[in-house]
Amino acid sequence: MNMFKIKRFENGIRMVYENIPYVKSVAFGLWIASGSRNERSENNGISHFIEHMLFKGTKDKTAQEIAAAIDGIGGQLNGFTGKECTCYYTRTLDEHLELAVEVIADMFFNSRMSKKDMEIERLVINEEINMYEDNPEDLVHDVLSSAIWKGNPLGFGILGTEENLEAFTRKDIKEYMKVHYNPSNIVIAVAGSFNENALFDLVGKYFGSWSSLFTEPSVYDVPDFKPVFSIKEKDTEQMHICIGLEGIEHGSDDIYPLLAINNVLGGGMSSRLFQKIREQKGLVYAIYSYPSSYKNAGIFTIYAGMKPDNVETVLKLISNEIQTLKDKGLEEEELVKSKEQLKGGFIIGLEGTSSRMNAIGKSELLLGHILTPDEVLEKVNNITIEDVKRVISRIFDLSKVGFAAIGKSKKDLDYKKYLLVQ
């Protein structure tokens, strides 16, 4: 399999790169260890606001010219903000790599941040917040995070609040970027077809001479998981619920048994939750589970959407499935099948240059190391029934459950009765 390499520039920037010679495209990503977890309540949303502003024009290019530069060569240019990172990336034909790097460097170093652009982008992000509020299936996951990690930035929403958005100034943005957008917090990730020496020259030319007074990488407090129940009344046809259990932190090998367990419990259409609650009983349209991992924290989430009249029955069935999992674990045959699912999904997910760039960039940024595909496959192959039992007893602790719901809830419904072990 293809192997990645790492180069460190004198100013502290790390570059991870993987040459895939049989493709004609290349993905270039600029990763910053800065997201909503780096914020305070009064500036929550600033990381996402900055991401938007970097696309709004530079000293030499308008927003339209930035977009046209990449559109004109049939490439892609985009960005995203998460809880622990922000990424700006391109995907182009290999012959256009220099243009891609030049455009991202220009956005990164020379963003105009004009007052007019800031006013326009406030309106755009307000619409994004409104759109999100109108989508309870997505929103309920944030309601859960903010409840169980209340008081810690890990519980903050990425979009921030309309009040904060109105208050951000150019000075606030510059101050935040000065601290967090520093070389120690930066990883450049490249995957696809390129000449190695030409890549070094290119990144050196656009990023190698950058220096900053700030050299501290991002660090995070360990958040306290609070078993809180948060119900948000909303006039919706469905009731949307999320059950949260304390999960596994980024980088822990326990994530592999948990992923195997997740496949069986709620990770797909053949999972227990989907088959029993949707397929056999028709009580929900959507039901699934998934683990999320962060630095020194994690959460395991079960989501379901249903008619308000079905909530009690669905909660009973979910807690029955959790209890069955605790009592009986997985069958050997289920584990074998789940491991094959994991391996298949992992390998198929690596087949694009963008997904490879994402995998190596995020891993280097958040963990400081990258596992090769062979190493990941070995960890999946090595999952044992004993590992599964240990992780089930660690995660599925029904005395410590977080819960969030959005919809028209029954006033007398005691959610805790169905979930918490008394």
- Which 3 state secondary structure label does DSSP give 8? strand
As a whole number of angstroms, the distance between CA 218 and CA 391 comes to: 29
**What is the phi-psi region of residue 164: left when phi exceeds 0, alpha when psi lies from -120 to 50, beta otherwise?**
alpha
Q: How confident is the model at residue 363, as a pLDDT?
A: 95
DSSP state of 275: I
As a whole number of angstroms, the distance between CA 33 and CA 217 comes to: 8
Q: Which two tokens stand for residue 284?
A: 């929900």
Q: What is the mean pLDDT of residues 349-362?
A: 93
CA angle 162, 163, 166 (to 5 degrees): 85
Which amino acid belongs to residue 183?
P
As a whole number of angstroms, the distance between CA 176 and CA 34 comes to: 10
- 239's enclosing H/E stretch is strand 239-246
What are φ and ψ of residue 202, in 5° steps? -65, -50
- Provide the whole-model pTM: 0.94
Q: What is the mean pLDDT of residues 204-217?
A: 86
What are φ and ψ of residue 259, in 5° steps? -65, -40
Q: How confident is the model at residue 418, as a pLDDT?
A: 82
Q: How confident is the model at residue 159, as a pLDDT?
A: 97
> Bridge partners of 291?
300
Q: What is the mean pLDDT of residues 229-258?
A: 95
DSSP state of 225: P
> Bridge partners of 90?
28, 77
Q: How confident is the model at residue 86, as a pLDDT?
A: 98
- Which 3 state secondary structure label does DSSP give 133? helix
Which amino acid belongs to residue 288?
Y
As a whole number of angstroms, the distance between CA 152 and CA 221 comes to: 8
* Closest residue by Cα to residue 189 from 365, 367, 67: 365
Q: Domain residue spans in the chain?
A: 4-207, 229-419
> Bridge partners of 120?
none
pLDDT digits (tens, 9 = 90+) for 356-371: 999 999 999 999 999 9
Q: How confident is the model at residue 419, as a pLDDT?
A: 81
> Bridge partners of 16?
6, 189
pLDDT category at 386 given cuts 50, 70, 90 is very high
pLDDT category at 421 given cuts 50, 70, 90 is low
As a whole number of angstroms, the distance between CA 33 and CA 182 comes to: 9
Q: What is the mean pLDDT of residues 177-201?
A: 95
Percent of all residues in the chain with a pLDDT value above 70, rounded to a whole number: 99
Strands 14-19 and 4-8, by their bridges, are antiparallel
- Per the CB < 8 A criterion, the answer to whether 85 and 250 are in contact is no
Residue 411 has pLDDT above 80, yes or no: no
pLDDT category at 399 given cuts 50, 70, 90 is confident
pLDDT digits (tens, 9 = 90+) for 82-115: 999 999 999 999 999 999 999 999 999 999 999 9
- Per the CB < 8 A criterion, the answer to whether 85 and 32 are in contact is yes
pLDDT category at 211 given cuts 50, 70, 90 is confident
Q: What is the mean pLDDT of residues 237-252?
A: 96
Residue 422 has pLDDT above 70, yes or no: no
Give the lowest-confidence range in 59-63, 81-85, 93-97, 209-213.
209-213
Active-site choice (51, 121, 246, 364)? 51
pLDDT digits (tens, 9 = 90+) for 250-284: 999 999 999 999 999 999 999 999 999 999 999 99
Tell me which long-range contacts 279-283 makes (C-beta under 8 A, separation of at least 24): 281/317, 283/310, 283/313, 283/314, 283/317
Q: What is the mean pLDDT of residues 76-86?
A: 97
Helix spans in 15-114 (H): 46-53, 63-71, 97-110
- 404's enclosing H/E stretch is strand 401-407
- Domains 4-207 and 229-419 in one fold: yes
> Bridge partners of 32?
86, 186
> Bridge partners of 17?
5, 190
Residue 412 has pLDDT above 80, yes or no: no
Packing angle of the helix pair 115-133, 136-148 (nearest 10 deg):
100
The counts of H helices and E strands in the chain are: 16, 11
pLDDT digits (tens, 9 = 90+) for 130-154: 999 999 999 999 999 999 999 999 9
Q: How confident is the model at residue 410, as a pLDDT?
A: 76
Which amino acid belongs to residue 308?
P
Q: How confident is the model at residue 216, as a pLDDT?
A: 74
What kind of architecture, by CATH, is found in domain 4-207? 2-Layer Sandwich (3.30)
| Averaged confidence pLDDT in the chain | 94
* Closest residue by Cα to residue 325 from 391, 401, 242, 372: 391
Residue 2 has pLDDT above 60, yes or no: no
Residue 51 is among the residues annotated as catalytic for this protein: yes
* Closest residue by Cα to residue 102 from 74, 72, 61: 61
- Per the CB < 8 A criterion, the answer to whether 46 and 168 are in contact is yes
* Closest residue by Cα to residue 6 from 367, 250, 374, 361: 361
CATH number of 229-419: 3.30.830.10
How far is residue 271 from each of residues 229, 343, 392, measured CA to CA in Å? Answer: 26, 17, 16
